[in-house]
Structure 1
Amino acid sequence: MTVHRPVRAARRRTLSISMRALGAAALTLALVPCFGQGAETYPVKPVRMVVPYPPGGLTDTLARTVADGLSRRLGQPVVVENRAGAGGGIGTDYVAKSAPDGYTLLMTIPGPLTANIVLYKRLPYDPRTDLRPISDVAVARTVMAVNASVPVKTVAELIAYAKKQPGKLVMGSWGPGTQPHTIQAYMDKTYGIDMLHVPYRGEGPMITDLLGGQVNLTVGSITSLKQHIADGRLRALAVVGTSRARGMPGVPTFAEAGYKDNPFALVGPVSLLAPAKTPDAVVERLGREVSALVKTPAVSQKIEDMGAEPLGNLPGEAVAAYKAYLPVVLKLTADTGVSLD
């Protein structure tokens, strides 16, 4: 019996080790489905959708429409949060540095993702590496409009009027380096005019002053301006883009008005993005949900009623579009000579 005791002890130790190994393996196997099902169970808490502009503009309006639909599709609240400032840079930087878990998203126009790279020498984020596209929700269409007190009806008349009154016309924008700012700088440089640029922290406050006459003209979203144009308080001169806007079919393009310059043809999307390291599965899930949502007749119609044009592409398509769009915007922005620091 004594001879066999070490053998029994060894067997007990071997059995103990084997049971611990089996227990560890079982625990590992139990955890595997949890990790694999992350995208399927996502989201398990409310999602924040950050808009880097104040309430009232196209981006904010579109974000709230998408957030409402996504809330129902995802089964969790999607809450819009406005973080304005620095031409959209503050809100964009916030999302870029947020946890890449799918619970903090960004809805923005192209400026913070494109022009800001040129405009700010010390941009605190790099949209090319710190963010990843989920979907281009819609194509934002913009229109050049003047306060009804400005005695012009065409782009040519505006340029002639501005030449006669250098420094008198005030052009508002929704922030430094945004489309109306770069167009103003381009027009001054190209056509030998002198308009004063006044930046605002978003479209809403800019439009208030445009209607009040403190600002004479702007290039703004059709979403925000079309009712004031219909009421006669503002006058539309031309839409930006290569074709007429669905939301304002009676207004000519700049090209139709005789101005085929590239800055007047470039249109950009309103996009939904996530921090760069957000898992592929979560991004793909969000992309599918947004695409399906945008393509529903009700949401598609809402977007058209805003003066935008529904798109709702998938993540891979949004990435390709951004890569194609970026160098064009960077060149146009650099050519204006506008710098903000």
Structure 2
Amino acid sequence: MKPIRALALVAATLTALLACGAQAQQHTSAEADWPQRAIKLVVPFPPGGGTDAVARALAQKLATRLGKPVLVDNKPGASTIIGTDSVVKAEPDGYTLLVSGSTSYTVNAALRPKLPYDPLKDLAPIAIVAKAPLVLVVNASSPYKDLGALLAAAKAQPKSINYATFGSGSAPHLVGALLEQATGVRLQDVPYRGSAQAMMGLIGGEIQLAIDTVASAAPHVKAGKLRALAIAGNDRSKALPTVPTMQELKLPEAAFDGWYAISAPARTHATILAKLQKEVDAVMRDSGMQEQVRNQGMEPVFIGPKPMAAAMEDEIGRYRALAHRAQIVVE
């Protein structure tokens, strides 16, 4: 090789190496300096309801700690798939995050073979931030004073009890199906866009039953508009302490425990994830935040990324088996 060509090759190589180094340094600086602009929390439900309440409380506290705006972006539809998919496809730079319930993280993955993403692979867990029990409620003027009376009516006349869901495969739909499996009754599911619409449908007499979070239903119960029949989980709710659980009603097969969590797109840099985990942990230790969450009928927690991932994997397997036994098929 001629000396001039050799020198040109060395110069080109050095230029490329310097450019790569500068680019790497730029990326490292961007990750270390995160956040530099507003952060978006995508909520795959309409405004109102438990998910939205958790996201807005998180947004307020995180904005104060991070010194940047944290905005809530409601993207409802398709049993939370539209909003969740938008986060999965977002740039993994820490500026687009998902706040949703276990429907997005486990139920859809268990029931929907054609889901356009895999939450175990396409989302980076940050933390479970609240436990959110579901409750079965009827209109306060309903003739059903307890769950036994409602089930007796459903058994006598199959499909006569209409109940609200957030679409096929949503958590309320799964609880309804599990209740059918456990008792032998047949209910009729009616899809609504979100909690607020379902509650109004029940209060307005469009449906006879709703299965929703305590956060969404408890204010209406306390206002005398709705009557709570049962907590869908295994533990009583502090917001509705007199309402029995499925376990107490001898229906453990119908039990379902809900929760809310925050996550990022997969491939988000570890530096950003670590900072998010630290800040979310600090927010959930804040007494004001804990009071806000409890006032919404939930229990504040901080369950970090590794146990959150383990819980997701466990629930997907468990709900998939339950769906198979209950013959729940969601396309």
Residue 251 (structure 1) aligned with residue 247 (structure 2) = no
> Aligned residue for 1:210?
202
Moved more, 195-204 or 34-43: 34-43
Distance 2:328 2:14 in 1: 66
> Aligned residue for 1:7?
none
Aligned pair in 2 of structure 1 residues 335, 38: CA closer, same or farther (>3 Å)? farther
> Aligned residue for 1:154?
146
> Aligned residue for 1:186?
178
Distance 1:185 1:324 in 2: 20
Aligned pair in 2 of structure 1 residues 181, 21: CA closer, same or farther (>3 Å)? closer
> Aligned residue for 2:168?
176
Normalising by the residue count of structure 1, what TM-score does the alignment of the two structures yield? Answer: 0.88
Please give the secondary structure, in 1, of the residue aligned with 2:206.
coil
> Aligned residue for 2:268?
278
Alignment partner of 1:314 out of 289, 293, 304: 304
> Aligned residue for 2:190?
198
1:39, 1:285 within 8 Å by CA — same for their partners in 2? no
Distance 1:288 1:23 in 2: 39
> Aligned residue for 1:222?
214
Q: Percent identity?
A: 35
- Structure 1 residue runs without a partner (length 5+): 1-9
Please give the secondary structure, in 2, of the residue aligned with 1:87.
coil
Aligned length: 327
Once superposed, what is the RMSD of the aligned Cα atoms?
Answer: 2.5
Aligned pair in 2 of structure 1 residues 24, 231: CA closer, same or farther (>3 Å)? closer
Residue 56 (structure 1) aligned with residue 48 (structure 2) = yes
One-letter identity of the residue aligned with 2:317: P
1:154, 1:257 within 8 Å by CA — same for their partners in 2? no
| Aligned residue runs from structure 1 range 111-190, under 5 A | 111-190=103-182
Please give the secondary structure, in 1, of the residue aligned with 2:98.
strand
> Aligned residue for 1:72?
64
Moved more, 321-330 or 170-179: 321-330
1:115, 1:333 within 8 Å by CA — same for their partners in 2? no
Residue 333 (structure 1) aligned with residue 327 (structure 2) = no
Normalising by the residue count of structure 2, what TM-score does the alignment of the two structures yield? Answer: 0.90
Distance 1:120 1:20 in 2: 52
One-letter identity of the residue aligned with 1:124: P
User: What is the CA distance between 1:113 and its match in structure 2?
Assistant: 2.1
Aligned pair in 2 of structure 1 residues 24, 340: CA closer, same or farther (>3 Å)? closer
User: What is the CA distance between 1:20 and its match in structure 2?
Assistant: 10
Moved more, 161-170 or 228-237: 161-170
CA deviation string 1:11-43 (max 9, x = no partner):
xx99x9999999998887776654434333101
Please give the secondary structure, in 1, of the residue aligned with 2:198.
helix
2:120, 2:309 within 8 Å by CA — same for their partners in 1? no
User: What is the CA distance between 1:47 and its match in structure 2?
Assistant: 1.0
Alignment partner of 2:259 out of 264, 269, 274: 269
Distance 2:229 2:295 in 1: 20
Distance 1:258 1:124 in 2: 37
Distance 1:75 1:334 in 2: 47
> Aligned residue for 1:3?
none
User: What is the CA distance between 1:255 and its match in structure 2?
Assistant: 1.2
User: What is the CA distance between 1:103 and its match in structure 2?
Assistant: 0.9
Moved more, 250-259 or 74-83: 250-259
1:200, 1:206 within 8 Å by CA — same for their partners in 2? yes
> Aligned residue for 1:6?
none
CA deviation string 1:131-161 (max 9, x = no partner):
1111111111111111123212222222112
User: Whose radius of gyration is greater, 1 or 2?
Assistant: 1
Alignment partner of 1:289 out of 273, 279, 283: 279
Moved more, 137-146 or 114-123: 114-123
